[in-house]
Amino acid sequence: MKIGIISDTHTKVKMAKEALNLLTEDGAEFIIHAGDIVEIEVLDFLKNCGLRYIAVYGNNDAHLAHYHGKYNLVQEPHYFKLANCKFKLMHMPYYMAPDADIVVFGHTHIFESDFKNGTLFLNPGEVCARNKSISECAMLEVTDDTFEVTYYTKEKKDDTFKHQKFSYERIKS
């Protein structure tokens, strides 16, 4: 299963749409937003992209609480099952215990793909290109034997995304 992952879109609605378009065109079957959504338009893109999705509140998303029933918004940490894996989703990296197969987080604006003791820790970086001139997102492909992470980057001045791949052998319990 291919899972598109974005975070820290902040006020950059156009960049969020570009990242979502890239992930859906590359075969994403599910979308995760790891918080700091900020703009209601981003939630509309998620809801209308034709895929199932989940989004966690970030530290800049309190104003979105009154939309809680309209969108698939959750509080952190949020656990769920997908692709025969237990996920833990959060924005703030406060709950970093390896108590899930995959831990997805945001907030730092820094891409991270780290496999420790059977748990994949994944931060897709920042869509908004606030802390650097690069918009980032990730695709996680879960197979029976591996976690395949594709890290996408796009310079503000460029028209296309570049990518790097990381592969980890799954440890089954």
**pLDDT digit string (tens) for 19-74?**
999 999 999 999 999 999 999 999 999 999 999 999 999 999 999 999 999 999 99
116 Cα distance to chain centroid: 19
pLDDT the model gives residue 123 = 98
CA distance 106 to 93: 7
pLDDT the model gives residue 158 = 84
pLDDT band at 156 (very low <50, low <70, confident <90, very high): confident
* pTM of the predicted structure, to 2 decimals: 0.97
CA distance 139 to 96: 20
How far lies 170's CA from each of 67, 106, 117, 119, 143, in Å?
37, 23, 10, 9, 9
Q: pLDDT (tens digit, 9 = 90+) per residue, 123-153?
A: 999 999 998 999 999 999 999 999 999 999 9
